[in-house]
């Protein structure tokens, strides 16, 4: 209760301040922005167009005449984003000190990846003015993309990939780096949930995400340790327009694993008091492919709820955000019967048997399985005064992860991690000084982990870190320069554990300190050509798993040994980019070189007698791994071209390619390749977009995509850790539209098909590639998902309108 009251203090104070302001007369004029949104060529009004100020979390929708109005806007500089389905997003910088009328005209030529970002910067910034490679994915694009989890949905972005363990478990990788090198942000808070483990995914409710932003490259300047590879920011709650009560019901069915999901949300806004409430249920059975048939114990289910309540006034906003993520999922072992090649249940126990068709057809989860819960409360505040802003973001998270691996006692917690984290983030955006925008800030976290299971993989520990930074940005006539410096320190206290009279974990303390920073420029040579360059230094402190792990768990099928002498990883990355946006085509190219010092990786231990070092784990012998360090380098590029020939503005031919190569400075057991580097990839998509087919069908789209992944011939072969992976090509398609009656959208339909030709393939980053050999077929490991059809329906609900 004390923690809840602590988070309510800013909200209560803000609410009282708002009431006081309404009762005290003031000579300061209240600021509003109003006008009309039209088609640039025809001059026709665009009812339903969106106007949004990301820093202020204020937005509205144009009425039937295309007119809009925003009230209670704080004085000062604002970045306004104007968007409408089928049109290019418009970003405008405005200095508002009094009420202003301004009309906006949108172009029907859709240019990809325009808009505003709030990730990796101190304030809302146009994507075009950001010197680092960044992508923004809206709800509409997420709905058009069949996926089984939110990370899977983002892998269509060039340079973004996933380490997967079946459909439910995906860990993001950006330009060849992942795990604790990628920071996930949700509602302004870095997600803390044992992300060092590969056997569970991000604790984010996929169906409630309104927008996702991906920064590719070191972002330690704003986020401190761990943002070495980049940042993924999921935005769920955004206030609806004033005087509105609206919602959605979204459902999804997928044929491959029988996934069924439904999400409902309801949001309102009256006199600045705004709120949102959502809930999601998701259930899936075992997925299948043509080589393995149905893959035993690959099902999962989720029950998630969340929402917020807040107040937005001319002084800023204060929001209280709550969420609960609750997922049950099976852990795929891939063990098979030698004689038949069929999957085995409860291998290595007295209950061992061949899985039957009934077992495979069930949605029931067998041992081993896990439950992942993530509870979070956030106090998100933004106060505007004297042309400056004070941002205060406080959060408490409790991550509970349980692994059940005892077939004879399925309720026994073999592993039970109880992770509690308090996050804090304070930023002061200083008043503009001769067109320089500066922000100073401090952020960090306090964290503790307890082990409540029968076994322990990592020790119990306490962690505290704090970092201070300065971020500056200056916009010239054609160029935007931004950058800053940061200093961090982190202290870890690890607890001793005595097990069976022997010391399993020694008590120790470690401290890590680092300086990070970045400097970059975005140069708009013309209104159609932009050049970008950025230099950034990032760092990552070792995790407790890397420093002190000593144990096995079902999720990885390996025994891990930590190394207490590990040093922090550091990186120095250079980025360059070039963007062309013309009427008939757009081209985007970005390249990078990343120098990594003390790169941490795990490798198999070699037995003194040759072969793998094996550890007896309750009768099963599993391979042993240990964490090491080595200097390394990564280099690569992403390139895309979107051809949209005039007057066929409805036609898009989009092509994207991504490539990354990672190497150690010195070979390790004969291999100088970094582990888990994704293969080169090429995607080609032909898409037709029609804003209005007839009076009933609006925003119609149809697309056909070829997704080609090339062979990975550069695996980390040291100690037989990885093997080469064959290439493959997947044929995907999609079609959808809004069904309209008059001026009201009744519902929207999104149909998608992945792997239409039912190709049997293994991703190089699939952990299932290294499960047991099928002695009948001779194939090693479990294959990825086969043919899958997805059906989504979105029903909008609107009860009142201003």
Which residue has better confidence, 594 or 8? 594
The set of residues, in sequence order, having a beta carbon less than 8 Å from that of 1 and lying 6+ positions away, is none
In order of 187, 211, 717, 799, the CA distances from 236 in angstroms are 7, 7, 41, 21
Lowest mean pLDDT among 16-20, 128-132, 546-550: 16-20
CB 784 within 8 A of CB 182: no
Give me 781's structure tokens: 């490991």
Say whether pLDDT at 602 is over 90.
no
Residue with tokens 């999400």: 263
Lowest mean pLDDT among 4-13, 579-588, 722-731: 4-13
Say whether pLDDT at 22 is over 50.
no
- Give the pLDDT of residue 611: 62
- Taking only the tens place, the pLDDT of each residue in 729-773 is 999 999 999 999 988 899 999 999 999 999 999 999 999 999 989
In order of 134, 184, 216, 596, 735, the CA distances from 172 in angstroms are 15, 9, 12, 19, 27
CB 212 within 8 A of CB 185: no
- Taking only the tens place, the pLDDT of each residue in 273-314 is 999 999 999 999 999 999 999 999 999 999 999 999 999 998
Q: Which of 443, 606, 579 is nearest to 523 (CA)?
A: 579
State the pTM of this model. 0.93
Give the number of other Cβ atoms within 10 Å of residue 339's Cβ.
9
- Taking only the tens place, the pLDDT of each residue in 36-70 is 999 888 888 888 888 888 888 888 888 888 899 98
pLDDT above 70 coverage of the chain, percent: 93
- Taking only the tens place, the pLDDT of each residue in 529-558 is 999 999 999 999 999 989 998 876 555 567
CB 380 within 8 A of CB 276: no
Which DSSP letter does residue 3 get? H
- Give the pLDDT of residue 239: 87
To the nearest 10°, report the CA torsion of 290, 294, 295, 301.
Answer: 130
- Give the pLDDT of residue 718: 85
């Amino acid at each position: 209760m004390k923690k809840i009251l602590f988070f309510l203090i800013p909200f209560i104070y803000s609410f009282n301040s708002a009431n006081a302001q309404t009762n005290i007369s003031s000579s300061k004029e209240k600021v509003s922005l109003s006008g009309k949104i039209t088609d640039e060529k025809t001059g026709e009004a665009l009812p339903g167009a969106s106007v949004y100020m990301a820093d202020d979390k204020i937005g509205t929708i144009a009425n039937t005449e295309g007119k809009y109005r925003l009230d209670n806007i704080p004085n000062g500089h604002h970045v306004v984003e104007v968007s409408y389905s089928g049109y290019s997003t418009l970003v405008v910088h405005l200095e508002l000190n009094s009420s202003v009328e301004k009309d906006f005209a949108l172009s029907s030529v859709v240019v990809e990846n325009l808009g505003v970002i709030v990730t990796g910067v101190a304030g809302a910034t146009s994507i075009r003015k950001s010197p680092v490679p960044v992508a923004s994915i809206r709800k509409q694009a997420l709905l058009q993309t069949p996926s089984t989890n939110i990370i899977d949905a983002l892998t269509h972005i060039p340079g973004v990939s996933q380490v997967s363990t079946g459909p439910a478990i995906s860990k993001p990788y950006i330009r060849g780096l992942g795990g604790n090198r990628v920071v996930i942000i949700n509602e302004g808070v870095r997600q803390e949930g044992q992300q060092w483990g590969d056997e569970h995914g991000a604790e984010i409710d996929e169906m409630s995400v309104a927008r996702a932003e991906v920064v590719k490259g070191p972002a330690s300047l704003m986020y401190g340790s761990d943002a070495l590879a980049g940042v993924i920011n999921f935005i769920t709650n955004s206030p609806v327009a004033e005087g509105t009560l609206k919602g959605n019901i979204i459902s999804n069915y997928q044929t491959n694993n029988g996934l069924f999901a439904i999400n409902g949300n309801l949001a309102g806004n009256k006199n600045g008091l705004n709120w949102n409430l959502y809930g999601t249920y998701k259930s899936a059975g075992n997925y299948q492919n043509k080589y393995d048939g149905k893959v035993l114990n690959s099902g999962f289910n989720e029950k998630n709820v969340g929402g917020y309540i807040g107040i937005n006034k001319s002084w800023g906003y204060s929001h209280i955000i709550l969420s609960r993520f609750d997922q049950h999922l099976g852990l795929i072992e891939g063990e098979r019967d030698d004689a038949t090649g069929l999957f085995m249940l409860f291998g290595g126990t007295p209950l061992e048997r061949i899985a039957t068709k009934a077992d495979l057809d069930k949605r029931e989860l067998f041992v081993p399985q896990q439950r992942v819960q993530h509870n979070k409360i956030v106090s998100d505040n933004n106060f505007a005064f004297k042309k400056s802003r004070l941002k205060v973001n406080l959060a408490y998270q409790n991550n509970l992860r349980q692994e059940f691996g005892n077939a004879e006692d399925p309720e026994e917690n073999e592993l039970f991690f109880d992770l509690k984290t308090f996050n804090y983030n304070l930023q002061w955006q200083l008043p503009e000084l001769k067109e320089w925008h500066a922000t100073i800030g401090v952020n960090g976290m306090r964290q503790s982990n307890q082990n409540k299971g029968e076994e322990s993989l990592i020790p119990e520990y306490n962690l505290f870190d704090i970092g201070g930074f300065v971020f500056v940005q200056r916009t010239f006539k054609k160029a935007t320069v931004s950058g800053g410096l940061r200093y961090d320190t982190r202290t870890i206290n690890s607890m001793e554990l005595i097990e069976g009279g022997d010391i399993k974990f020694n008590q120790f303390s470690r401290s890590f300190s680092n300086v990070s920073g970045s400097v970059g420029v975005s140069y708009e040579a013309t209104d159609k050509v932009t050049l970008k360059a950025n230099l950034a230094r990032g760092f990552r402190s070792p995790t407790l798993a890397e420093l002190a792990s000593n144990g096995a768990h079902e999720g990885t099928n390996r025994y891990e040994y930590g190394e207490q002498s590990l040093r922090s990883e550091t990186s120095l990355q250079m980025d360059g980019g070039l963007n062309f946006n013309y009427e008939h085509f757009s081209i985007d190219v970005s390249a990078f070189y990343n120098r990594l010092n003390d790169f941490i990786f795990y490798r198999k231990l070699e037995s003194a007698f040759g072969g793998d070092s094996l550890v007896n784990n309750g009768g099963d012998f599993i391979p042993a791994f240990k964490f090491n360090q080595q200097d390394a380098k990564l280099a690569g590029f992403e390139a895309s071209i979107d051809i949209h020939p005039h007057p066929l503005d409805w036609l898009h031919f989009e092509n994207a390619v991504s490539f990354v190569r990672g190497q150690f400075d010195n070979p390790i057991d004969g291999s100088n390749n970094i582990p888990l580097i994704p293969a080169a990839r090429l995607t080609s998509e032909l898409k037709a977009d029609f804003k209005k087919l007839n009076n009933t069908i609006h925003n119609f789209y149809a697309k056909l995509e070829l997704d080609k992944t090339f062979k990975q011939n550069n695996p980390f072969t040291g100690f037989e850790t990885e093997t080469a992976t064959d290439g493959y090509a997947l044929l995907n398609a999609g079609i959808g539209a809004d069904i309209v009656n008059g001026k009201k959208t009744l519902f929207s339909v999104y149909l998608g098909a992945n792997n239409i030709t039912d190709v049997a393939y293994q991703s190089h980053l699939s952990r299932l590639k290294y499960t047991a050999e099928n002695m009948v077929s001779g194939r090693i490991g479990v294959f990825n998902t086969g043919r899958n059809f997805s059906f989504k329906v979105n029903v909008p609900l609107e009860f009142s309108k201003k």
